[in-house]
Amino acid sequence: MDRFERQYILPGFGKEAQHKLKQAKVLVIGAGGLGCPVLLYLAAAGVGTIGIVDGDMVSLSNLNRQVLFGEGDLGLNKAETAGHFLKAKYHDIKINCIPEFITTQNIKAIFSKYDLIIDGSDNFPTRYLVNDACVLLGKPLVFGAVYQNEGQVAILNGKGHNSINYRDIFPDPPTAYEIPNCNETGVLGVLPGIIGTLQAAEAIKYLTGYGVALVDKMLFYNLLSHQSYSMELSKNPDSKKGIPFSMEALEATDYAVVCGDGDSVDWEEAFSLLNKFPGGTLIDVREADEFPKLKGFKFQSVPLDLIEEKHQEWLNSELILLFCQSGVRSLKAVKMLEKHFPGKKIHSISGGIEAPDSPIYK
């Protein structure tokens, strides 16, 4: 007997399917609300090689849904912490921890080592980047995403060349302002738990051929009503327009700009603007419990939901620069402040505190 007996005695699964899991190399993008259940179940099921890519650190507000982490992990890297936990549980699988955010620069090298990609990211720039790279590199993608009490799951790019990809469904990225994420609208921890578990189930079905996987289909699930809706996806001629022509073209694409993040500047531009306009203001719009904190620079901390209320404070600032964890909420703050101060220089810092050029890495 071994730890997989209960699944290989299932009629139709068998040792052959178990062997396929053992041979599989799966990359999980984001060890967050979706990534945690995906990782727990893939490791338990015996997927032989699991990569975990996440440059984020554990925050107190993550703990309602990111069940691999506890109070003792605050401030630690998510990929390394998740990997450490899984390695301690099982000796018979290989876990690769990549404590970085996926970017246009590292995506090709990271993807090349895996044969199935699972997207558990939390923003559109990453989701479109991952989709486009999967199309260009021919990798199947288990997609999952949540909004308030609803979730979506699909297997994209699962049939080779003529498969459906994310841009067939949504050719143009929405702006971050259009569709908020969990940090902004709230989420019960069990919802990404359910959707992430569905992603793990679909990955196992796809890898082994057990059952009918959601290839070229998208499932919608509503936690409050338990209603689900499954639709057959179709090819869309507009999808090709948005996908870079080659991996070289992808590497030169700015996905933050593609996703309507055009009001943004990078950290270097932000500091040069602050030098130029000494009366400028730098504002952290995250909640007080979010890490890492910016050190060595003068800034104010005003959470996004107080920006509107406090906007008069910045009436005389000649420049307002806003940052958050990943650049989503700060962009929203830009839109709010632009309404009060049309024409004022107001920018979000692209990628937020987690951006590759962030001062926290210097």
Q: Which residues are marked as active site?
A: 182, 324
- For residues 278 and 275, give the distance between their C-alpha atoms in angstroms, rounded to a whole number: 6
Answer yes or no whether residue 241 interacts with another protein by CB under 8 A. no
Binding mask 245-284 for another protein (x = CB under 8 A): ----------------------------------------
Query: Which residue from 153, 150, 140, 135 is spatially nearest to 218, judged by alpha carbons?
Result: 153
Answer yes or no whether residue 120 interacts with another protein by CB under 8 A. yes
Binds another protein (CB under 8 A): choice among 97, 117, 169, 201? 169
Task: Evaluate whether 208 touches 21 at the Cβ level (below 8 Å).
Answer: yes
What residues from 182 to 211 belong to the interface with another protein (CB under 8 A)? 182, 185, 187, 192
Q: Which two tokens stand for residue 229?
A: 């809706």
Answer yes or no whether residue 34 interacts with another protein by CB under 8 A. yes
Q: Considering only the stretches 6-14, 73-81, 100-108, 181-189, report the one whose residues sit in contact with another protein under the rule CB under 8 A.
A: 181-189
Smallest separation, CB 190 to another protein (Å): 14
Smallest separation, CB 316 to another protein (Å): 32
Task: Evaluate whether 86 touches 98 at the Cβ level (below 8 Å).
Answer: no
61 Cβ neighbours under 8 A, 6+ residues apart: 183, 287, 289, 290
38 Cβ neighbours under 8 A, 6+ residues apart: 28, 118, 120, 144, 196, 197, 199, 200, 203
Query: Which residue from 152, 145, 150 is spatially nearest to 224, judged by alpha carbons?
Result: 150
- For residues 39 and 68, give the distance between their C-alpha atoms in angstroms, rounded to a whole number: 9
Answer yes or no whether residue 351 interacts with another protein by CB under 8 A. no
Smallest separation, CB 118 to another protein (Å): 11
DSSP assignment, residue 53? E
Q: How many residues bind another protein (CB under 8 A)?
A: 45
Q: What residue ranges bind another protein (CB under 8 A)? A: 30, 32-35, 119-124, 127, 144-148, 150-152, 168-170, 172, 174, 176, 178-179, 181-182, 185, 187, 192, 218, 220, 222, 229-237
